Amino acid sequence: MAAIGSANSATYEKLALLASPTDRAQAEAAVLKKSRDWVPFAEAEAVVVLGGDGYMLQVLHYMLDFDRVLPAYGLNLGTVGFLMNKHKSSRTLEERIARARPVAISPLRMDATTASGETQSCYAINEVSLLRETRQTAKLEVVVNGKTRIPELSCDGVLVATPAGSTAYNLSANGPILPLGANILALTPISPFRPRRWRGAILPDTAEIVFRVLESVKRPVLVVADQKEVRDISEVRVSAWREHQLTLLFDRGRSLDERIFAEQFMS
């Protein structure tokens, strides 16, 4: 079998194929399975992912859970496909992967302490979000690198987004779009009431961000790391998880950072 790779990316001789359970993805998987020899995920050097952004996130979380992180090349058979490549191309799949540009993404590590004193740790590829659980406004103390920056933030919530996740929930909350490679994070409030004029901050990804819940009994708060939820929290610590870096493969001219640039000029 010919090696797959280029001077600008690793050489991948063994590829695994993972497909979303949707009809479109399964139909394409049936076609691709006939086009070449595939190997099980446990033996692969890279993985081809068929589906949408949601399924790509599932695959990336799966790899982190089992501590087997492989470069991932996605083909969009979903809706938005921000993390994916176009489905159709004049080039073969082997040619596309050989020419693909690798993009490194550092997930976030989230350590949450509940009101009962239990601790839970997980990670997020897009964002970590704190949200009020009831009709009562959340009140949070915001600490960055050991220094209290906002003694009391009254809001519906607040989130920390990676560059890869900056065009998702963060953008909907009027947060900034972050280019990849800048090594920064977005700290974005969700419907802030006080300080009313605070619109968030851009922080280096070396920063540790701590949120402490004020009046937690009256104003309970939950935290969500991508899809994992922890309720009734008292404190949350968030930082970049550099030692578990992920790699996405993008067609030339269609990389994630180019899409982030393009998003900023959309009307």
Give the tens place of pLDDT for each residue, 233-256.
999 999 998 888 899 999 887 656
In this structure, are 69 and 15 located in the same domain? yes
CATH at 91: 3.40.50.10330
- Give CA–CA dist 236/24, Å, rounded: 39
Looking at residue 11, its pLDDT comes to: 74
Domain identity same for 187 and 91: no
Per the annotation, does 8 bind a ligand?
no
The pLDDT score that the predictor gives to residue 82 is 81
Mean pLDDT of 190-199: 92
pLDDT score of 105: 87
Q: Give yes or no: residues 203 and 171 share one domain.
A: yes
Range of the domain at 23: 4-106+245-263
- Rounded mean pLDDT of 171-198? 90
**pLDDT at 56 > cutoff 50:** yes
Q: How many domains does the chain have?
A: 2
Q: Are residues 56 and 140 in the same domain?
A: no
Based on the fold, state whether residues 189 and 73 are members of the same structural domain.
Answer: no
168 assigned to a ligand binding site: yes
- Model pLDDT, residue 46: 96
Kindly state whether residues 64 and 181 are assigned to the same domain. no
54 is annotated as contributing to ligand binding: yes
Same domain, 235 and 158: yes
61-70, 120-129, 238-247, 250-259: the lowest-pLDDT one: 250-259
pLDDT in the model for residue 5: 44
Q: Which of 23, 37, 53, 65 is catalytic?
A: 53
Residue 1's pLDDT band, with cuts at 50, 70 and 90, is very low
For residue 203, the domain's CATH number is 2.60.200.30
Q: Is 53 a catalytic residue?
A: yes
**pLDDT value of residue 90:** 79
Say yes or no: 121 and 154 in one domain.
yes
Say if residue 143 is in the same domain as residue 191: yes
Do residues 136 and 228 both lie within one domain?
yes
**Are 22 and 80 found together in one domain?**
yes
Give the pTM: 0.83
Q: Do 135 and 112 have their domain in common?
A: yes
**2-38 pLDDT, tens digit each:** 344 444 446 788 999 999 999 999 999 999 999 999 9
Residue 126 assigned ligand-binding role: yes
